[in-house]
Structure 1
């Protein structure tokens, strides 16, 4: 495992090992270090980002949208891939957000999205923003069309 200073830790009531193995199939660059401490803590990496999972049982702490993992995608094909893979069995929300079948929230963000929204021309970026808030999965062509007027 890499020596990052900060490692997100996700609390699972159960199915932590199943979730870790699922994520390793979705992300091509992944490593699983396995479950430790009598199967309570899992360590793995996705695209170089270390993540810890804790199978802590039924406590009052639940995964929710207040914390999400953001996936930066190169193009629409990669956006579609992560949207479909991570969203399967979960639920879709707005603006590129989804919740996977384990309850983890993800933002699936094509490269064009921040570029269009951060453009200094407020009118053009505003049109892209207005298009984005009507979408579930972000559509690069539709965002660019709105941006260009």
Structure 2
């Protein structure tokens, strides 16, 4: 791997570690600052894993897609070959990373809301921060169309 690949790959682990530490501190100390840090690291983790998907896994998926041998005797063998192929493993990894990082963002936003509800002093800044998260998710079109995905403060 070249230098950029190493930076991207190691960046995922560094951000994941920072997210885990900040989330643990948010659970233990229940501080507003730790909740904000957790949300920021979760958002960066989501962006970093998206970059890894685009940079590593999608090209790998496309190259493995051409390697699937579809010359089999039965439908069951065809399904088995497709589901256990390297391309399927790439797809599973991309889905798991996207689901996990998305869940981390919404979990951190929920922790931030709960902490802000305890402290009225930080409530306005939390509302503003969560509003920014909504705007980014709408811009990237990653919002859940079936219902509320982020906690919203009711006035």
User: By the TM > 0.5 criterion, same fold?
Assistant: no
Q: Could you tell me the TM-score, scaled by structure 2's length? A: 0.24
Greater RCO (CA < 8 Å, at least 6 residues apart): 2
Which protein is richer in strand relative to its size? 1
Structure with bigger helix share is 2
Greater gyration radius = 2
